[in-house]
Amino acid sequence: MAKSKGISVVEAYLVAYNAASFVGWAYVLVKTLLYLSVHGTNLDGLFDSIGSALIIVQTGAALEIVHSLVGFVRSSAMTATLQVYSRLNLVWGILYMFDYPEVRASYGLVLMVLAWCITECVRYSHYALSLFDIEVYTLLYLRYTMFYVLYPAGVTGELLEIWAALPHAAAISSWFWVFLVVNIVNYPPVLYKLYTHMIRQRRKILGGGADSNRVKAAKPVDPVVSKKKKL
């Protein structure tokens, strides 16, 4: 059903943000797939091909913390911070810092990037359309189902990247090495928090039992929905 009034300034901004984020992640995904289709398992030039775009689009995700804090969206600022922090640590603290093949030309990088890209392309496209009250069940279902596989896959890639960076971090500073080790230790509880959060969201939005094949009213429960604050 179309809205009776035009969208607010906040919603227009969120549409632009989500659309731009979708384009950015789709670009990284296409570049990654094209590289792999041409070079196969030779990953020496993968980061050179996607690195700058990956860092830019992931850094832009830091705005999601701001969106939560100022009330543009209903999602938890803590959840957003947990998700964004770990990725910023990966792109700036590891990929940007360490120009070594075990870091920038690894299967961990491929696994991590593909999991991130697929997750975010679905998430941002779903978010942008939902602001127009356009509900595409396929996107909604994928958004709240693919995480079962993509979260563990992405975390595995992230841990492989951190592990590969440990010797190089130790060469810079023992404290840097300790910092990365602490991050590794924190992954299981953080993954559990995010994973169970998504399971709860899936139950609320997709429902269960007789409702599992029918979309529930997504607007009241989907955390992406803005509070329609007028500016």
Residues designated catalytic = 151, 158
Residues forming beta bridges with residue 73, ordered by sequence position: 226
Token representation of residue 201: 């969201």
Dihedral (C-alpha) 177, 180, 182, 184: value to the nearest 10 degrees?
-130
The answer for 39, left when phi > 0, alpha when psi is -120 to 50, beta otherwise, is alpha
> How far lies 34's CA from each of 55, 100, 209, in Å?
19, 22, 41
Give the three-state DSSP class for 228.
coil
Q: Is 157 exposed, middle or buried (0-12, 13-18, 19+ CB in 10 A)?
A: buried
Half-sphere CA count of 203, side-chain side, radius 13 A:
5
Q: How far apart are the first and last CA of the chain?
A: 24
CA distance 222 to 4: 20
